Homo-oligomer: A and B are copies of this chain.
Amino acid sequence: MFDAVEKLKEFIRFPSVSTDSRFKEGMSGAQKFVSDLLGSMGFEVEVVRTDVHPIILASRGGDPAWPHVVIYGHYDVQPADPLSLWTTPPFEPTVIGNRIYGRGAADNKGPLMTNIAAVAELLEGNPGLPLRITFLIEGEEEMGSPSFPAFLATHAGRLRQADFVYLSDTALPNENQVVLTCGLRGLALLDLHVTGARVDLHSGLHGGVLLNPIQALAEICATLHTPDGSVNVPGFYDGVLDVQPWERAELAKLEGDGKAYMDFLGIDAFHTPPGFSPFEAVRFQPTLEFNGIGGGYQGEGTKTVIPSKAFAKISCRLVPNQEPDRIKGIVMDAIRARAPRGVRIDFVDQHKGDPYVVVPPGRPNTPKDQSPVLARAFRAAEAAVTAVWGRPPLFLREGGSVPIIPAIKRATGMDSVMLGLFLPEDNLHAPNESFNLDVMRKGVETARRILSGITTS
């Protein structure tokens, strides 16, 4: 009998922080642990070397007529710092009540172990299960999956033999309501650098003579939104997918209390594009955000300097069918066109990711040529969630980004079924991350039923 909680504990003990080379051993330990575990379950394991951290491919073959699912997950975790804010050691899993605490407990070790446990139970009960399964488990998710494009270039053919991707790396809005995520936002990131004088200047000796790059930066950034909350870049909304009436209706079933959300955020007013509630805006609308800004003196007290340089870090969350490179281009064009004289503008291109949408079967906008196995997976998921959780799932797009999902779609044509398992209170990417073991138990049962369900046409 597969003990999912014990296995999860073992998994969490490996400090697999992908972005920090000091955790090299934790990374290889986590990779070997998962590889050995899947090997022990009868999977044929291949560890695909990449430029950074290897990707685990573990296959259970079978009759080519059987449906074929790719189960995605990642064995790497975010850094644990600031360590001083943890109440239990981040890499020493600790069960308190119905929660297991530790870095990666919810993102993504717990949900991944949930799906591994479901497969283990399924195969224990039915070793001849007519289902082909390929685990695709990467170690670079928390660093933006830099090796994934190269992996896809060499392995797309193999993945193309599968029917769909199944994963649990999205959110559960609350303990009673499962969401099948039907869309993800994309990303387009760039840094804007503004340079004025060749060196920092004394603001007494030269103040009033030249344009301060912080002022120029503020003036540029201030043009990028209209007061109503829209992004003010010509062409930004071109091609943005309309929201289907069924999507709004689906979201209406979930929509919570605006006041409670405001209190959670600690703000006294929302700021959304016109015609969208905050709950709609985050799922259906693109954004242009400033993730950081800097320039000049930042310490205590004062320094009367006119800085030479200032910068802003800009990221756009994109919705279908916005194309990241086109968005980067028009944002840079708008900034160049609006930059005042007397400063120099430079950009640093950062990473990007396509937006993604998949339409469940039976909707007015479901593609006519949708894969029958994918449609079956969605129906199996709906039935499984309804049975296990006591109410049907919602089919919603989400505001976050999982760039490998659209990358797989682009390379292989395969869509994804995304069943969220982490809760808002799980503290992802924050101290005292935890995973709800009731959710895990229900998640195992749900995944078991879904995977079983797709084998019966």
Contact = CB atoms under 8 A, between A and B. Distances in A.
Interface string A255-285: 0000001000111111111001010011001
27 contacts: A197-B266, A201-B265, A203-B289, A203-B291, A204-B399, A206-B399, A208-B278, A208-B399, A209-B272, A209-B278, A209-B282, A210-B267, A210-B278, A211-B269, A214-B221, A215-B290, A218-B219, A218-B290, A267-B342, A269-B342, A271-B341, A291-B305, A291-B306, A294-B294, A294-B295, A302-B313, A304-B401
Contacts of A219: 218, 221-222, 225
Interface string A125-164: 0000000000000000000100000000000000000000
Contacts of A290: 212, 214-215, 218, 295-296
Interface of A: 144, 171, 185, 187, 189, 196-199, 201-212, 214-215, 217-219, 221-225, 227, 261, 265-273, 276, 278, 281-282, 285-287, 289-298, 301-307, 310, 312-313, 315, 317, 340-343, 350-351, 398-401, 428-429
A314 to B, nearest CB: 10
A271 B317 contact: no
Given A198-B265, A198-B266, A400-B204, A289 B271 contact: no
A240 to B, nearest CB: 12
Nearest to A221: B218
B350 A209 contact: no
A83 to B, nearest CB: 18
Given A205-B171, A266-B198, A282-B208, A217 B218 contact: yes
Contacts of A214: 221, 290, 292-293, 312
Chain copies in the assembly?
A: 2
B296 A292 contact: yes
Contacts of A298: 292, 294, 313
A286 to B, nearest CB: 8
Contacts of A278: 208-210
Those 9 A-B pairs whose CB atoms lie nearest each other, nearest first? A198-B266, A204-B400, A292-B296, A222-B222, A218-B221, A214-B290, A211-B271, A269-B342, A292-B297
Contacts of A215: 221-222, 224-225, 289-290
